[in-house]
Structure 1
């Protein structure tokens, strides 16, 4: 009740009980709260030191009127808040100064094209995008993890960057693969980003991880098959225009991210388990299509998407990987 004034829950309730009694003892009030005599004495001494109670810890005590007793505490809290606000403003100014210095150093070394090799360098650049993008970020999230991210089945890291940029007022548009629904963690990560303001659509296929930042430069994975290899940055008008055109064409044909209550991750996971189980039983594509109620071409596309998402090249490898992940009984 009075936590903002520095009182704990027990101290607040102790004082409130005294307010309902003209005069009482620490031991008596403490007993009503389930406190031992020693614990009650400690709380009473604390309230006496703050001016909320008057009297003696070992004798009778009375509550001082809240307006009189809490006024000094309010003033103290306001002074503390003012100091914290000043420290916050100084901290923000220091961050802005560091960012400006970093930006000047970065700007002085800009080239039309540059390569950042290795996972650490790639992730550092993605952090820079989240921190410095001023207007827009368009991203195509291809199969596998983002450049510099080690875990392929978790959007937490990249999602935090996207959400951070969105909260800064940057218009973030993200294209994801339809096959994200093979794992609940991917679906949950996508909806977390959407809740933070990231605009998300899904498509069947994407060629490579691409980021278009403020219509000024393009970032792509250095090696589509190895997200640990690094990234390439291009700042030429031609590269930006080509990447933007590719993104727009995919975006126009993409479907909005389904609402969480349309189909639960558990339901989606079961569908893919069923499909992988059919592959494990060496069922033909036509029979799989009939079992799933789709066309053979759609069944083959779903299998291909699963192989891409699980980062395998054959159906046998897909079944083996699913078994290792515990997706099959």
Structure 2
């Protein structure tokens, strides 16, 4: 049996810290206070079993909430599917960027077998940023990870912007099969060979998206995709530059890291998303076999890449 002062001196805490710790342990039932005010440890069997039982109850409640949440999502999806099936038109239009992007999310969530996409010039329908594939690549990766076959035709001109190349390789790494061609007519998605979704206005991806379900239109789009696919080139693998070459291409990024610039600001200055900026930093850390950003900056200084 020990007094509070003895416990405090033993673990090296201040009086305030010791009081807080003692109150917490008392509330958990791991310590008990005798009639004269001394603290004593409660036998672990007596102390821990109630804690474990409470933890088991919390886990059971969380599991039940998770099951209810999943059931609600499944029910909502079934209702949406049922209502859509009963009122499907041969063609429908979703106007505006938000509606277009919402439908692309629906494709990612509901496709059951395959999604084939022709990514024409400009951003995908509903995507405002034309120089970053982050949003659409994450959606494509999610679809592929669901076990859906995803085939994507990209323009050869993506190599003009590193951010587009980064997005393409991110999709390929997630299981999306990618090929490149010189030209494509319009953003087009062929989903499960059941319907086709195309940009409403090829010159303005913010206008919306059109969905066509007639068998003839689906067959024509599938044939066009197949002809482009047969003549397309496989996406080139990323080069493996030397550390010095790689560092030289990232001087601005390294300078911002050295100045401890926030990730949001780094992304804005590089013209990419925060996710892409963080991935580039992580890639540099891995490439040079350092453990963190500080070591990366030190390494760059030693190589003479930072003033």
Give the TM-score normalised by the residue count of structure 2: 0.70
Choose 140-149 or 182-191, whichever is displaced more: 182-191
Aligned to 2:117: 139
Write out aligned runs for 1:66-85 (5 A): 66-85=44-63
1:187 aligns with 2:165: yes
Write out aligned runs for 1:98-113 (5 A): 98-113=76-91
Aligned to 1:248: 226
Aligned to 2:14: 36
3-state SS in 1 of match to 2:150 = strand
Structure 1 68/128 Cα, relative in aligned 2: closer, same or farther at 3 Å?
same
Structure 1 187/77 Cα, relative in aligned 2: closer, same or farther at 3 Å?
farther
1:39 shift after superposition:
1.6
Aligned to 1:127: 105
State how far apart, in whole Å, the 2-side matches of 1:24 and 1:77 are.
29
State how far apart, in whole Å, the 2-side matches of 1:243 and 1:127 are.
21
State how far apart, in whole Å, the 2-side matches of 1:82 and 1:232 are.
45
Choose 25-34 or 111-120, whichever is displaced more: 25-34
* CA RMSD between the two structures: 3.1
Q: State the structure with more CA Rg.
A: 1
Question: Equivalent of 2:138, from 140, 145, 160?
Answer: 160
1:139 shift after superposition:
0.9
Are the equivalent residues in 2 in contact too, given 1:27–1:41 (CA < 8 A)?
no
Aligned length: 247
Write out aligned runs for 1:1-329 (5 A): 35-55=13-33, 61-64=39-42, 66-260=44-238, 262=240
1:215 shift after superposition:
0.6
Name stretches of at least 5 consecutive residues in structure 1 with no aligned partner.
1-22, 272-329
Structure 1 237/73 Cα, relative in aligned 2: closer, same or farther at 3 Å?
same
Give deviations 1:168-212, integer Å, cap 9, x for gaps: 222222222233233333233233333333222333332221100
State how far apart, in whole Å, the 2-side matches of 1:209 and 1:226 are.
11
1:79 shift after superposition:
1.1
Structure 1 228/62 Cα, relative in aligned 2: closer, same or farther at 3 Å?
same
Choose 167-176 or 83-92, whichever is displaced more: 167-176
Are the equivalent residues in 2 in contact too, given 1:27–1:36 (CA < 8 A)?
no
